[in-house]
Amino acid sequence: MKALRKLKRAARSWLTKRLDAALALQGNMITSTTTSTRSTLYTLPFWLLCMSNFLFSASFQMLIPELPDYLIGLGGREYVGLIIALFTFTAGVSRPFSGKITDTVGRVPVMAFGSVVCFLCGFLYPYLLTVWGFLMLRLLHGFSTGTKPTATAAYVADVVPVDRRGEAMGALGLFTATGMSLGPAIGSWVADAYSMDALFYISSVFALLSILILLRMPETLDHQQPFRLSLLKLKKEEIFDKQATKPFIVLLLQSFSSGAVLTLAPALSSSLGITNKGLFFTVYTIASLVIRLTFRRSSDRYGRVPVMAVSTAVLAAGMAVLTLADNQVLFYAAGILFGMSWGMNSPTVQAWTADLSAEGTRGRAMATMYIALEAGIGIGAVLSGYLFNHLELGMEASFGVSAVLALLATLYLGWLWRKNHLAGVVG
């Protein structure tokens, strides 16, 4: 009997070990499969999102080079600075709302809403032929970029692994930048070859195509809620996400330069004898594309803050060159530096914000980051337009202020970099 009991114990011990080994093997297989799934970056939803972003960015960007002359033709020369400022104002105001709705109703509905606004505005421009009608439409048009990019950034952060987030934002940015590059050149060509009305309609068609692509996108938000008006009531903490404070400060200082460039680059192009006012935008966006391809994983490897510090220093240099640009060589050199900077900045600041945010409030954090972008662009556009109309060297002054603000952002990032290094914190 004792021998039988010993045999049973030995058999039970052997069976337990075999079961433990089998369970461990199964666990390793599951972990391996999960890791493989999580490391997958370039999925069909991701490519659809990229294509939608290309069409969306080309839709509104193709209008930019021609709008100043169009508004002047309507009799609104003194309001040129408002072309960008009004657009960014409503974009900024809508950010907290879009962030909350992105976190409750879903990513895809908010993206679709932004494309719908862009589609409708394109068709309305030819029918509002007064200065105030045009400016009111620019105000409405801003809701498009106040909603779609917020939801897009949250969607990407949902579907890509954390350790490849910078690469993913860079890849998405390639399509966005390509749309922004081709858009102005296409827009100027259409306006010259056909008419402004044709340009507005083509812009609208691009926005429509970006909506159709979104219809195939699966939703990534868990526990979706139906939309209700009470969601538009914001609490204090829903307007500004403190987790995104650092990216907010940096982007606010950086984006002043974008407002100045968007407002004054077409006028500077004309003064230098460049007939296609969209070429500067094409040059800087091509530079941005090259940088995104070459350094697409740099912030994943070296950290967000170091990459932001370097790229912002390049921005300061680019705006300083633009201040001195009295010929086409310097003008395009400044465009290259400007594009290189934003090619590194854009995906990195998005990944940085996603890193700092909680999963349940990611849309809100992205909205806070974009508020800084819109505020900086809007302030830059208004001040640049004012200086351009009231000072003899107003254009040079605008670009000079942009360079100084970019330098301040570089110093702030350098301080954060040193602080993180001493604390042993990565990126």
Residue 379: pLDDT above 60?
Answer: yes
For the chain, give the longest Cα–Cα distance: 109
Q: 273 Cβ partners below 8 Å, 6+ apart?
A: 328
Q: Give me the residue spans of the domains in the chain.
A: 43-218+238-423
Q: Indicate whether 35 pLDDT > 50.
A: no
Choice among 20-24, 112-116, 147-151 with the minimum mean pLDDT: 20-24
Tell me the C-alpha distance between 189 and 62, whole Å: 10
What CATH fold (topology level) applies to the domain 43-218+238-423? Answer: Growth Hormone; Chain: A; (1.20.1250)
Considering only residues 12 and 82, tell me which one the structure prediction assigns the higher pLDDT: 82
Q: Which of 385, 387, 406 has its CA nearest to residue 77?
A: 385
SS3 41: coil
Interval 226-237: pLDDT, tens: 877 777 777 776
Q: Are the beta carbons of 157 and 354 closer than 8 angstroms? A: yes
Closest CA to 163 of 367, 354, 405, 380: 354
Is pLDDT at 91 greater than 90 in this prediction? no
Computed on alpha carbons and rounded to an integer, the radius of gyration of the chain in Å comes to: 25
- Per-residue three-class SS string for 308-320: HHHHHHHHHHHHH
Residue 27: pLDDT band by 50, 70, 90 thresholds?
A: very low
Q: What is the pLDDT of residues 286-304, one digit of tens each?
A: 888 788 778 767 877 888 8
Residue 425's pLDDT is: 54
- Cα–Cα distances (Å) from 67 to 62, 125, 196, 335, in that order, read 10, 11, 9, 20
**Residue 295 CA from chain centroid, whole number:** 17
* Buried residues in 405-424 as b, exposed as e (16+ CB within 10 A): bbbbbbebbbebbeebeeee
Round to whole Å and give the CA distance between 417 and 313: 14
Q: Which of 65, 90, 30, 3 is nearest to 267 (CA)?
A: 65
Q: How far is residue 208's CA from residue 375's CA, in Å, rounded to a whole number?
A: 27
How would residue 41 be classed by pLDDT, with cut points 50, 70 and 90?
Answer: low
Angle of the 328-356 helix axis to the 165-193 helix axis, nearest 10: 140
Mean per-residue pLDDT, 70-84: 79
Residue 333 has pLDDT above 60, yes or no: yes
Per-chain mean pLDDT for the chain: 79
Length of the chain: 427
Specify the pTM. 0.66
pLDDT in tens, 146-160: 788 878 878 877 777
For residues 79 and 415, the model is more confident at 415
- pLDDT category at 169 given cuts 50, 70, 90 is confident
